[in-house]
Structure 1
Amino acid sequence: MEPLATGGLKSGYDPRDYWYTPLGKGAIDWTTGFDIEKLLGFPIASKDQGRSFSCGGQAWSYYAAVLEYFASKSYEERSARHIYSHTHVAPGGGSRGRDNCDFVKTQGVAKEADASSYENGKAPSEAFVTTKPTLSPNALSDIANTKALSYLRIQGDFDMVAQAVADNYGAIILIQGEDNGTWRSSYPQPPYKRQWAHWLYCGKLKTIKGKRYIGVKNSWGDKTGVKGWQWLSEEYFASGAIPEAWTMQWDYTPSKRIVIMKQMIAILSKVIPLQKLLLTYKK
């Protein structure tokens, strides 16, 4: 049963999903941590979804802009509306992780400048943000260059999500919570009753007073946390209130890579003895 008043909907099981496995970049140095804004060299502007259920579009548009930067060294804010208008679930609203991932992979994401997510300069209504934007030929050409992504599902425990953040410039989690007075603070507390679910982009890792935290960028403006950033503890993850997580990479198909590597090893094991035989014959 989905939580009430939710912008984040569970995707359910699909045997075709690829599952994230660490890339072997080494263990995270929690003393140094990880900060996507330090890697970018500038802060990520906060988004504001208002009373809409567009958190999925917001979270994936953060991530799409980050990944585009590391691919092209050009940072351009991407449109939450462009994503959400195609992935929202009618009539109640909200979106699923797999649908958002698949849209970004197969369609790409328009620039915010080409498909504004704001209604008359203000946070959008659900009706506005679910209306598909009209895109110019130049905007469509740009979108075509932003869709070479592959996505993976993550087992939603703290360590796996943290490693995905370090490996892939981020991850996105489905978080369940309640209005317990802490949600807009810098340190949201695990819920006693799960009243809603929300998509969040994860882009920071830090040890605070001896405890490990994952930093998330919310989509409720600068007044949430510190300039939109909040810190989720290991306890939040351990409470079971993070039921789903996703990460994105460039052309990552782990099962195919493993098969290809095994095939190469098998071929080389045959070729090398053959080379030895030919050298012996030449002598």
Structure 2
Amino acid sequence: MSTARHSTTRSLAAHGVLILYTVIALFPVFVIVVNSFKSRRAIFADPLALPTSETFDMVGYQTVLKQGDFLLYFQNSMIVTVASLFFVLLFGAMAAFALSEYRFRGNLLMGLYLALGIMIPIRLGTVAILQIMVASGLVNTLTALILVYTAQGLPLAVFILSEFMRGVSDDLKNAGRIDGLSEYTIFLRLVLPLVRPAMATVAVFTMIPIWNDLWFPLILAPSEATKTITLGSQVFIGQFVTNWNAVLAALGLAIVPVLVLYLIFSRQLIRGITAGAVK
């Protein structure tokens, strides 16, 4: 009884800490959204105040909708983010399953090699990546961004998922083999459902850098037809004058899809983060 009570207490404490961190993390989002509905003078006069009948102003959203094709920018960001997440989770899970399940010469070295991608930023290879994309004819295409973000997210995905997959019962997988299941079926029907919290964790930590990235869209896909929402928002930021109403409105609109994706993965994310707190 005491052990169960202790586990419950630790679980509640972990959930409480996670909720506190969420509130702290969402406070800047709250400030951005609130100020996006205020006039420029009100933004600088009292940035933490809520809009009133005197300070309420939709000029930022009007400017965003009139200047630039932000619906297209949203569409490009969604395509790049969703496609990159799909390939990161698919290839990352497959590589993690191979590293955790099969013992072969060089297994450890292969895992270390993949883990190097976590420590070495992909931006160090920007020049080489740009040369490859130019030679392949993929400049100013969403495919270039998807390929780069997939390569960027794979090291973390393999590192996290391989640790979780090592905890999957060998008896369960061996029972599947005795029943005649193929390795692909074991991977898809037995292993993946058990590591969904880990996959949700990987998805959340992968999608935010992709959605907010400015570097690679600016270098690989700067054309009007392939701009992402982050790159499209830069049109309101000038060298000497910045349209803060439009910037905050664009950022406020850009936050919505990220929050939706976060809510989709939040339940599994909490399970993945607190998995070790109830053992």
Pick the TM interval, shorter chain: under 0.3
Structure with a larger share of its residues in helix: 2
Structure with a larger share of its residues in strand: 1
Q: Which has the higher contact order (CA 8 A, sep 6+)?
A: 2
State the TM-score, normalizing by the size of structure 1: 0.24
State the TM-score, normalizing by the size of structure 2: 0.24
